[in-house]
Amino acid sequence: MKKGVMRPGHVQIRVLDMDEALKHYVDLLGLIEMDRDDQGRVYLKGWTEVDKFSVVLREADQAGMDFMGFKCLDEDVLDNLHQDLKAFGCEVEEVPEGELKDCGRRLRFVAPSGHAFELYATKKQTGKWGLSNRNPEAWPRGLQGMKATRFDHCLLYGVDLDKTLELFRDVLGFDLAEQVLTPDGKRVAQFLTASMKAHDIAFIDHPEPGMFHHASFFLDTWEDVLRAADLISMTDTSIDIGPTRHGLTHGKTIYFFDPSGNRTEVFCGGDYHYPDHEPVTWDADELGKAIFYHDRQLNERFLTALT
């Protein structure tokens, strides 16, 4: 049942070198630089996003994800969810308004998987980049690289998938859209949605808590994914795998790495989910096909290179 959580709103990613990172996220991926703050963090977004930013880069001495934030309908929803999170047993920290520029107060908590998440309801809206909200053109000129349209989801590796599902489903109102089950019924992957998308957040079972697998960005067409692959070669960017299709969600995809080793995905297509749909299930012995629908076998790097 929906609890007022709308969508993935932002992700803060740690990078080893900000200048190199900006070449990746801005010049290659095509995000727009929107702002910087006095901590040196850089705020980016995809051109179709209405809110001011969705990706925050922070220079640090290790790679990985600081937190992922979900935007909620309004401030009352935040107050209710604060209580519900506490009742579930989460420690909730209130991050004051303005800690991220032009963003309202955020509730931060750590999920049983070991990842930090945030809920917030207020962020400055600057509108789609380069377009008016009145009689808008189809797209703005001056986009770079892959022209990523929006931040779409993250895939995270961590512990305690069952408890994490309980938190996201029962407290935050996500649905389980897809899952991977072992023969004895253990869930080793779960794809969760707060919308109609096949996933807004996904988790894979892994003995280390709090690991980051990828942040993903949406493209319109398969042709765009192919063009992204061309750009990856042209720039000699570290590739993981693709272009290919997933069995899970059926998205068409390519994976590559930022210069600090964080994985980036761009993809198009994919299934949709309504709240009355049963979860789609893949059997763990079909995992190769579930992850890479064409190769039908797993790639060691995809499973184990994490930040």
Partner 1 sequence: MNNNNHTCLEQETVTEHLITLNATEQDGFRAKSDVSVLVAMERAGQHLIPVGCRGGGCGKCRIHVLQGEYFSKRMSRAWISPEQESAGTVLACRIFARGDLVIEPDPPEIRPQSQTK
Q: Which residues are catalytic?
A: 153, 199, 214, 246, 255, 265
Which of 48, 122, 195, 238 binds partner 1 (CB under 8 A)? It is 238
Considering just the CA atoms, what is the radius of gyration of the chain in Å? Answer: 18
Stretch that binds partner 1, among 4-12, 86-94, 178-186, 204-212 (CB under 8 A): 204-212
The Cα–Cα gap between 237 and 262 comes to 12
Q: Which run of H or of E encompasses 126?
A: none
Contact flags string 253-292 toward ligand FES, x per CB under 6 A? --------x-------------------------------
The tokens describing 33, both together, are 């630089």
**For residues 57 and 141, is the Cβ–Cβ distance under 8 A?**
no
Stretch that binds Fe ion, among 117-125, 185-193, 262-270, 298-306 (CB under 5 A): 262-270
Specify whether the backbone of 30 is left (phi greater than 0), alpha (psi in -120 to 50) or beta. Answer: left
**For residues 182 and 161, is the Cβ–Cβ distance under 8 A?**
no
Helix, strand, or coil (residue 95): strand
Residue whose beta carbon is closest to Fe ion: 216
C-alpha dihedral sign at 158, 264, 59, 41: negative
How many residues belong to the chain? 307
**CB 159 to partner 1: min, Å:** 6
Q: Which does 265 bind (CB under 5 to 8 A by kind): Fe ion, partner 1, ligand FES, none?
A: Fe ion
**CB 255 to Fe ion: min, Å:** 8
With binding defined as CB under 5 A, does residue 178 bind Fe ion?
A: no
Q: Which does 159 bind (CB under 5 to 8 A by kind): Fe ion, partner 1, ligand FES, none?
A: partner 1
Please give the single-letter amino acid code of residue 289: K
Cβ neighbours, 10 Å, residue 162: 12
| Residue with Cβ nearer partner 1 (23 or 105) | 23
**For residues 217 and 149, is the Cβ–Cβ distance under 8 A?**
yes
Nearest alpha-carbon partner for 21 in 47, 41, 46: 41
Residue with tokens 């998440």: 117
**Cis status of the peptide bond prior to 259, with omega within 30 of 0:** no
**CB 188 to partner 1: min, Å:** 15
DSSP notation for 228-251: HHHHHHHTTPPEEEEEEE-SSTT-
**CB 307 to ligand FES: min, Å:** 8
Residue with tokens 């519900």: 84
With binding defined as CB under 8 A, does residue 66 bind partner 1?
A: no
Q: Which does 260 bind (CB under 5 to 8 A by kind): partner 1, ligand FES, Fe ion, none?
A: partner 1
Q: Which does 66 bind (CB under 5 to 8 A by kind): ligand FES, Fe ion, partner 1, none?
A: none
Which of 69, 243, 259, 269 binds partner 1 (CB under 8 A)? It is 259
Which of 37, 58, 64, 188 binds partner 1 (CB under 8 A)? It is 64
With binding defined as CB under 6 A, does residue 64 bind ligand FES?
A: no
Binding site for partner 1 (CB under 8 A): 16-17, 20, 23-24, 27-28, 61-64, 114, 159, 206-210, 234-238, 240, 257-263, 300-301, 304-307
Binding site for ligand FES (CB under 6 A): 261, 305
